[in-house]
Structure 1
Amino acid sequence: MREIVRSCYLNAPLDRIWAEVRKPALLFFVARPMVEIRPVRPDPFPEAWEVGDYIVSMVWRGVIPLGRQTIRISYPEAPSGTKHLRDNGHSAMIRRWDHLIALEPDGSGTRYTDRVAIDAGILTLPVARFAQSFYAHRQRRWQKLVETGFEYETG
């Protein structure tokens, strides 16, 4: 198993970041263009993540199919003043993709942290290397989204 932790500062209040984190549209936005995520079940997804399982198909760079992934959403308890969203997902290739998003106030903005534990058997190391790149990409996309005033259409 490998664990990846990556944080960044987002120049927006925690409540606003939390509202965006809870939207499936955010996942689609921050993953593009590296990974295109498409809802399979349910289709369409709700406006906000509810506790439960969601099935997606994924395509890398719009060309290479990555298969289907189960996204298992929960909202674990978090220390006072912070927020957590967890995707304890998996796929045929990846036994464990346990992703925790943690938000905490940081001055007038928000400290955003992605923490993911990965178990893909003998493929764990290459999958973890991909995840490092993917979460760096996601956080750059987050920065862009905040800078544009949360305009999803601009990117």
Structure 2
Amino acid sequence: MGGVRTVRLTHDYDAPPDRLWRLVTDYSSLARSCDGLLSFSGLPDGRVREGQEIDVRVRLFGRFPPQPYTMRVIACDDDAMTCLSEEKGMGVRRWRHAFAVTPLGSGSRLSEEIEIDAGPLTALYAAWARILYSRRHPRRVEMLERQAV
């Protein structure tokens, strides 16, 4: 059935919060963390900024035909390390993604909440979101270990 579904995830990192924040708000790191699952064309360089509206084309698994997708950054606060975006496209009416980085001992925690409305396919997209965002975690760990961000 349709309706809205919410996916909540937390992942812990052995990296200072400011370093994790720079990684999760960097567009090239986003593309690398999704590699093999999603590929983007038209993704800007640099970091996420409040007020951005980005029209990209997204390919599922890098194989399916590219689909238009819009991402709008509603809020992005570097001091509070919080971000909120709304996205749509590829059958999704609304994909509202809120995330925050917080200190955790000598490391940090990334908390994400993704609210999805995709009509009758909402449950399927929610399952996809859980897989996609969970797969980003080990890739981010690797990026944090390999280089300073």
Q: TM-score range by the shorter chain?
A: 0.7 to 0.9
Amino acid at match of 1:57: R
Structure 1 vs Structure 2 CA RMSD:
2.0
Alpha-carbon distance between aligned partners in 2 of 1:136 and 1:92, rounded to the nearest angstrom:
20
Matched residue, 1:14: 17
Matched, 1:135 2:133: yes
User: Mean alpha-carbon deviation: is it higher for 106-115 or for 15-24?
Assistant: 15-24
Native 8 Å contact 1:101 1:113 kept in 2: yes
Name the structure, 1 or 2, with higher relative contact order (CA <8 Å, separation 6+): 2
Identity of aligned residues (%): 24
Change (3 A) 1:25 1:76: closer
Matched residue, 1:148: 146
Change (3 A) 1:133 1:66: farther
Change (3 A) 1:137 1:87: same
Matched residue, 1:27: 30
Matched residue, 2:119: 121
| Deviant stretches of 4+, over 3 Å | none
Kindly report which structure 2 residues correspond to 1:1-155, keeping only aligned pairs within 5 A, or say none: 1-39=4-42, 45-51=44-50, 52-65=52-65, 67-75=67-75, 82-91=80-89, 93-150=91-148
Native 8 Å contact 1:73 1:86 kept in 2: yes
State the SS of the aligned residue for 1:48.
coil
Unpaired runs of at least 5, structure 2: none
Native 8 Å contact 1:3 1:116 kept in 2: yes
